[in-house]
Structure 1
């Protein structure tokens, strides 16, 4: 897949106060519903595998600042330390419930906390795992000028193509060679032409993923 990369001088400077205000309003309006859903999903995780409901991981955010991202746990406890930092669709470390959570992207719901803290925005490039930053080009590093998002075009692409990492000798190598730069190019293209209509389209695509309409 070939995606035009956005020249650095055509990217906007960064996030706006209006975007931050929209994030906070949307999060607060949805918070009562999200809290109920998170409690139910957390109980499902706890009842089907040993360990906590939440999973915490260090990610790199805006300005190269690290922060702790929150997710519903989809792997067995400690499994993230026994394999690659990326998962295919049939990764044996992922629990049965975790497979469903990942497929529907519901494992990302706790990131509403990251959003309210100001560490993330609703729509934007996904925050990166530090070990992949050395593979970024100078243009791709411009993504770190922006607050990372819960939903983003690159992340939606990676979710659709995660099965390509199954059955490979090194999932991380395959991810870097086949998917990383395509994903980042999509994020750069989004930032170059960021507008409400694009955000609504990405929200609709994410909603379709939750409903199984991939």
Structure 2
């Protein structure tokens, strides 16, 4: 079972506090090289999709093409995460809320972008800025992170590394937005941090490509 058990309460025994640590110099060098090469190549290759997305968004939901939102990076440093806008402009009029698989706030082409993860293409810019990695735990909003920190043991440990556009939890666990889902996704995130290897990194990258091609992102 390639994940780390996370106890359901703080009273249970689970992961040792010192079991996880930031990547070492060689790991950081490899990830930076991978990030820069993949992000720059993808920006060139995906440029037609940027034009298509901008046009379809403007047609189906007039307004800004891009959407940026504060997310937490390594060591809980906040940065503005970029995406193609996939929801209506009034999507959060009632406050912050998790999106769902059949979210009514998402317009038709927005659903297509989410299914293929095209909406995350602008995050390549975040990668080139050094705010994101190609692979890592999903970057979350502070309001959700603070809530999970209070309920899920070791949740803050996922912030010892940079978050990523894709990751082990994203390809191993189906979409979910509740506390139980967050706990299970954390098991995969911490497995990735603790057992990082070049092989695991490339495996995640390949499986992400398969997910995009087969439209199994949602």
Q: TM-score band, normalised by the shorter chain?
A: 0.7 to 0.9
SS at structure 1 position matched to 2:63: coil
1:138 and 1:103 map into 2 onto residues whose CA distance is 31
The answer to whether 1:148 aligns with 2:163 is yes
Residue of structure 1 in register with 2:116 after alignment? 104
1:114–1:120 Cα contact (<8 Å) kept:
yes
Paired residue secondary structure (1:26): helix
Match of residue 4 from structure 1: 4
In the other structure, the counterpart of 2:9 is: none
Aligned 8 A contact 1:3 1:185 in 2: yes
* 1:13 and 2:22 aligned: yes
- How far apart are 1:61 and its partner, in Å? 0.9
Per-residue deviation at 1:29? 2.6
Mapped to 2, the partners of 1:46 and 1:78 lie a distance apart of 15
User: Which of 127, 130, 140 does residue 118 from structure 1 map onto?
Assistant: 130
- Measured after TM superposition, the shift of residue 205 of structure 1 is 2.1
Q: Judge conservation of contact 1:103–1:209 (CA < 8 Å) in 2.
A: no
2:87 corresponds to = 75
Gap change, CA 1:203 and 1:97, over 3 Å in 2: same
Residue in structure 2 matched with residue 191 of structure 1 by the alignment: 193
1:115-173 Cα offsets, whole Å, 9 max, x none, are 00000001000111111223224522121121111101223345x234xxxxxxxxx6x
Q: 1:205 to 1:2 in 2, by over 3 A?
A: closer
Which of 153, 158, 161 is the matching residue for 2:175?
161
TM-score (normalised: structure 1):
0.84
Q: Output the TM-score relative to the length of structure 2.
A: 0.83
Deviation at 1:78, TM superposition (A): 2.5
Mapped pair 1:48 → 2:63: no
Match of 2:38 among 15, 26, 43: 26
User: Does the 8 Å CA contact 1:140/1:188 hold for their aligned counterparts?
Assistant: no
Contact 2:136/2:189 (CA < 8 Å) preserved in 1?
yes
Residues 213 and 51 of structure 1, relative CA distance in 2, 3 Å threshold? closer
5+ residue gaps, structure 1, are: 163-171
Q: Give the number of equivalent residue pairs.
A: 201
Deviation per CA, 1:23-71: give whole Å up to 9, x if none. Answer: 1122223321123321222222112211111111110111111110001
Larger helix share, 1 or 2: 1
What 5-or-longer segments of structure 2 have no aligned partner? 6-14
RMSD: 2.2
